[in-house]
Structure 1
């Protein structure tokens, strides 16, 4: 573990300058389809976009980044997991593959796990731009090829610590900031087989360097006229460090997956925490877990950090350390009394269900972001429940695009 930790810091690199691509989707009105865990069934993306009348797709991980050589790099436990949940394998064939007496590795073909080779060869073409972070189960070496440009697929765009996109749509500038992979505390300082990403054996995870990279990228492109959407695979609702990251990025909205519910959940901290101190407690718990790991590897990490990496680690530490002061209590050092962070009520979060069960659409028009949630739900009966559509009034960000912005309204 010690050697792996040292390697993770010494080999993680940053492409400079980062990609800050801007795409004009539609100036008046546009719809963005948000989905999770398509799990290699990439031929469905065009159908889903067409059904939703979407101009673009945002995907929150477990995209199906595998190719023929990936199978030999995936360990048996992950291979069985992928086989269990692949939408590309019929039920009868799945039972045969998962039987203990059958050699799953020899019987499995790449097209049972992912249609990515068809996307790579051009047999499948994406009809709308697709923006995605990495998931918990992906081939890290394939992601490296996409990052470096070895593989280039039309309309497929990664969102990661150094690559961000700004979509001009419906009179707002929607800035996509993202961090893919699972959140595993004991792997925060281990890049595994990756160099710019972190992962191995068919899995991917978040590192402290990636957190620092994303904060650095967000600071470089910060524009108060933009609406910032943080896209992660792991939910900030579950992980205090990712909630701290959302605060550091000044995120207005977050989009995540990884919980595999049958319904998309929609919430803000004010709606799920009993009081402001409960939010502060979640952030403190995340900080404590981070430092428990950091304190055990700090001396080894410090010994191999270059100047650039030290800056990134410091940015990650600053984000983790940023705990809002209690309301009404003076800050440390005699500062002014604490007031509630705007994100307490104004940052909205969505955790998507798997693509198999539903999706969400961001409907953006005249500066207002509305949502449509579509979920099949769950039932004890064999027939699926009716699909449920929810359409709230939405969030009005049009004021940010005016020369004399009005007072920021509380989202409805």
Structure 2
């Protein structure tokens, strides 16, 4: 892939348009670990329990952590920005709130202000990380999730906030981990995939999108990620796409993986008790089933695009047009039918990713983790999940139906 040229950004934003994206400068660095062997701990949804990152890294003997979102990017001022519904959701699932206190805060007689007036420490240890009271012992590479404060992420992007060993991977920020005989290129897309919000930045600037305690992926964000990958593309690297939204469920995310020509993907967002390991060949009935998933993603996007196309075209600037065209190219990335000759008269071959791109969807950090063990160029995988507890069945009383033989 060759880098695409990009027009300079306009200095003013037309009324009603998305925030203009600044001229693109890729933020990329290489981190050299033990080049013979390294273990990368992959986790999802730490949900603000950030002190646990060091414990998890030590238990896994990991040299770095890759995190797929819902990190806990909240500070004290975030409480006034989070809407009531999201605040209750965060309270329901926060690992920092004792059970009895959670029950009290979520009681029907308590208004949302009861939660909003509590300490931010109940939702996230991020302020402790920011102040240096918590220090990360190994590098942590994360995208943002569906429940984060966009204002906090904007401060990272602007350079106002920085934390030792914490790296936010986004559409313009990529890292290379030189470990175990490979160069692993980390690419990231944060936020939930909400099709009807893909042209809404909310309170975000440039290509970032979010507001009221929630964050989602935007079309311009996807376009900029494609541009970033084109600018740094190197055949000698192994490409790993880290997303919050599931590639197994969302056709657009699978199209993005195809467009970026990634080798491996890690995602979350489904909150299962077990992690999943698969390629498309292992879960689709046939190659056409793979195509149908991508076509379904395209159809969902096209419905939204057709409804807003006129408005977007009227206000978009030249720089945004480049990013939008790249996002539209992702959505159009459908492998051709195998039985129809191409323009050269030859039948197309199978898409390589059909069998060769491997995907992992992680359970929440409270229930398990995943380790990429890299040695001499080989990437092996270890999944650990707490799973379901079926012990109750040993003491269950047999039902009458199960214990009574059928009459003849």
- The TM-score, its normalising length taken from structure 2, stands at 0.90
Residue aligned with 1:374, SS: strand
CA contact (8 A) 2:20 2:317 kept: no
Pairwise mapping of residues 368-379 of structure 1 onto structure 2 (< 5 A)?
368-379=378-389
Which residue number corresponds to residue 260 of structure 2?
A: 249
Specify every segment of 5 or more residues in structure 2 that has no aligned partner in the other structure, as ranges. Answer: 1-12, 394-408
Mapped to 2, the partners of 1:272 and 1:355 lie a distance apart of: 25
Deviations 1:116-140 (A, max 9, x none): 0000110000010000001000000
Residue 122 in structure 1 maps to residue 132 in structure 2: yes
User: Partners of 1:377 and 1:6 in 2: how far apart?
Assistant: 51
Change (3 A) 1:378 1:15: farther
Partner of 1:298: 309
Structure 2 partner of 1:35: 43
Quick one: distance in 2 between partners of 1:353 and 1:128?
Answer: 22
- State the shift of 1:381 in Å: 3.6
Instruction: Report the equivalent of 1:50.
Output: 58
Paired position in structure 2 for 1:169? 179
Q: CA deviation at 1:75?
A: 0.5
In structure 2, what is the equivalent of residue 70 of structure 1? 78
Partner of 2:92: 84
Cα 1:353–1:289 change in 2 (3 A) is: same
The question of whether the paired residues in 2 share the 8 Å contact of 1:6 and 1:300 is answered with no
**What do you get for the CA RMSD once the two structures are aligned?**
1.6
Q: 1:348 to 1:8 in 2, by over 3 A?
A: farther
Separation of aligned partners in 1, 2:86 and 2:293: 30
- 1:130-149 aligned at under 5 Å gives the runs 130-149=140-159
Describe the SS at the equivalent of 1:21.
strand
Match of 1:265 in 2: 276
Distance in structure 1 (CA, Å) of the matches to 2:324 and 2:383: 37
Residue 43 and residue 8 in structure 1: after superposition, are their counterparts in 2 closer, same or farther (change >3 A)? farther
Matches within 5 A, 1:103-118: 103-106=111-114, 107-118=117-128
Indicate if the aligned counterparts of 2:146 and 2:192 stay in contact, CA closer than 8 A.
Answer: yes
The 1-side partners of 2:140 and 2:359 are apart by 20
Residue 16 (structure 1) shift: 3.0
TM-score (norm: length of structure 1)? 0.89
Q: Distance in 2 between matches of 1:253 and 1:6?
A: 39
Deviation at 1:12, TM superposition (A): 4.1
1:360 aligned counterpart, secondary structure:
strand
Correspondences of 1:280-291 after superposition (within 5 Å): 280-291=291-302
1:283, 1:323 within 8 Å by CA — same for their partners in 2? Answer: yes
Q: Which residue of 2 aligns with 1:409?
A: none
State how many pairs are aligned.
378
Correspondent of 1:186 among 196, 210, 217: 196
